Amino acid sequence: MAKMGELSENEKLLFSHLNKGNDQEAIKLLSSGDVRVDCLDEHGMTPLMNAAYKGKAEMCELLLAQGADVNSNYHEHQYTALMFSCLSGSVDATRVLLEAGARVNAENNLGRTAAQLGAFVGQTDCVSLINNFLSVEDLEYYTKPQGLEKEPKLSATLVPVLHKFAVTQKLSPVKIAMYLRENQQLIENHKSLVKVMELLVESNIKSSEMHEVLAMKMHYLAFLLKTCARWHEGLEGKDGIEGFLKYLTKGRPSDGFFLNVEDLIRQAIRSFDYPECTIFKQLVQTIAPVEKGRDPTALSVITQCINGLRCADFSDCCCVCTEKKDVKKCSACKMVGYCSVSCQKLHWQTHKKFCKQLAKDYEKQLVAKLEAEKLQEIDKTEKDKPVEVNGENKCVLNGKDDQSMNYQKTATKNEDATAAQLHDDNREIKHEPTGT
């Protein structure tokens, strides 16, 4: 363990950069390799605690990627990084730490947890994030035999894998199936994992605080894990998870819509065991009246319900798996984006039928856009001219104004239609149950 305050010159420099907010300099030092990522300043603070206290989510991520201990507790008053992020009120930093396995029950020297400290300083968003987040401790409970049990329900070795799976924010069935394909341990142990997840659903529904969101999320993930396992074991479809991915990404012949994804999510929600719950009623009321293929999709509704509005906008995401990073447009039509070649390959069977037409649509949009820009340019030069008192001239000018606006509308209409609709529809999602 690092000793308090015993810092090398570079480590001192690192703290100084973090304190002053010189992020780039701090990053340079970290990648130089001669600073210990968990070094302690004179108060026992690690660089991660420092970044958390400043509410810097990206810096926290970077430090964790370098191996920082999320639960370091050598602070003089036993504060943890999570307590600091709660005090700062940064929801993003708090989420990053929770996802990395920060202990929510750790107490400082006055016996206060991170959530209690957050509540004390009025950071209610951080507090509710912690309360609706599956913690490592929630899982560890199942690694000890309870009551008359001889064997625990969950092997301790599976806690990290299950935790990582359960805290994912990406709810697209395609993305989840891809994740399970890469993490065979989850598939191989699906029976015990699903059992634990179902117990978590039950305990969250029955808890006095009613963590319905967490319960629905656990149910949804357990449902997809079960489905993937069935494909893997050949009980459903063929070719295992690979076949499942092909099945999910096969578009509807008429319009390429991922009908199988939509049906699967609707089925997952319907199979929730607690229909009296508000969250269940809300989801069903929002999704049931929507014609399949129209917005909002079941994926955007459930994502918004679990992760919030900001995460439910997939307009710039990979059209197959909803990944946000490294999305490149199909070079032929420039209308759909993919995060990887494998996503593009999965989609090609469907997309090849629409690519040509989409390319034509793109051309049309481009022409319209250019035209609108040209009109705007003319408009601008007209406006820059000295104002004429002549009424007739004024009319012409007004006429042009209207026209250029209309042009612009047509130009961007198609492009933004999906995004706009998603937003509009999202706004309509009811937050209060209206039925009986």
Residues 6+ apart with CB under 8 A from 421: 295
Closest to Zn ion by CB, 28 or 345:
345
Closest to Zn ion by CB, 235 or 341:
341
Please identify, among the stretches 152-160, 198-206, 343-351, 400-408, the one whose residues bind Zn ion according to the rule CB under 5 A: 343-351
Q: How far is Cα 167 from Cα 172, in angstroms, rounded to an integer?
A: 14
**What minimum distance in Å lies between the beta carbon of 356 and Zn ion?**
8
Closest to Zn ion by CB, 110 or 341:
341
Closest to Zn ion by CB, 196 or 318:
318
Closest to Zn ion by CB, 214 or 321:
321
**What minimum distance in Å lies between the beta carbon of 323 and Zn ion?**
4
**What minimum distance in Å lies between the beta carbon of 256 and Zn ion?**
11
Closest to Zn ion by CB, 83 or 321:
321
Report cis status (omega within 30 of 0) of the bond before 296: yes
Q: Which residues pair with 328 in a beta bridge?
A: 338
Is the separation of the CB atoms in 330 and 351 below 8 Å? yes
Q: Does 343 bind Zn ion (CB under 5 A)?
A: yes
Please identify, among the stretches 150-158, 347-355, 375-383, 422-430, the one whose residues bind Zn ion according to the rule CB under 5 A: 347-355
Site for Zn ion in 142-171 (CB under 5 A): none
Give the three-class secondary structure for 338. Answer: strand
**What minimum distance in Å lies between the beta carbon of 241 and Zn ion?**
15
**What minimum distance in Å lies between the beta carbon of 336 and Zn ion?**
6
Closest to Zn ion by CB, 170 or 226:
170
**What minimum distance in Å lies between the beta carbon of 332 and Zn ion?**
4
How many of the other CB atoms lie within 10 Å of CB of 412? 15
Q: Does 216 bind Zn ion (CB under 5 A)?
A: no
**What minimum distance in Å lies between the beta carbon of 353 and Zn ion?**
10
Q: How far is Cα 372 from Cα 411, in angstroms, rounded to an integer?
A: 7
Q: Does 346 bind Zn ion (CB under 5 A)?
A: no
Give the phi and the psi of residue 329 in degrees, each rounded to 5: -75, 150
Closest to Zn ion by CB, 295 or 323:
323
Retrieve residue 154's tokens. Answer: 């969950």
**What minimum distance in Å lies between the beta carbon of 419 and Zn ion?**
18
Closest to Zn ion by CB, 112 or 324:
324
Closest to Zn ion by CB, 72 or 344:
344
x/- binding map, residues 300-339, to Zn ion, per CB under 5 A? Answer: ------------------x-xx-x------x-xx-----x
Give the phi and the psi of residue 51 in degrees, each rounded to 5: -65, -40
Q: Does 138 bind Zn ion (CB under 5 A)?
A: no
**What minimum distance in Å lies between the beta carbon of 164 and Zn ion?**
19
Site for Zn ion in 352-391 (CB under 5 A): 355
Size of the site for Zn ion (CB under 5 A): 10
**What minimum distance in Å lies between the beta carbon of 359 and Zn ion?**
7
Q: How far is Cα 200 from Cα 185, in angstroms, rounded to an integer?
A: 20
Residues binding Zn ion (CB under 5 A) = 318, 320-321, 323, 330, 332-333, 339, 343, 355
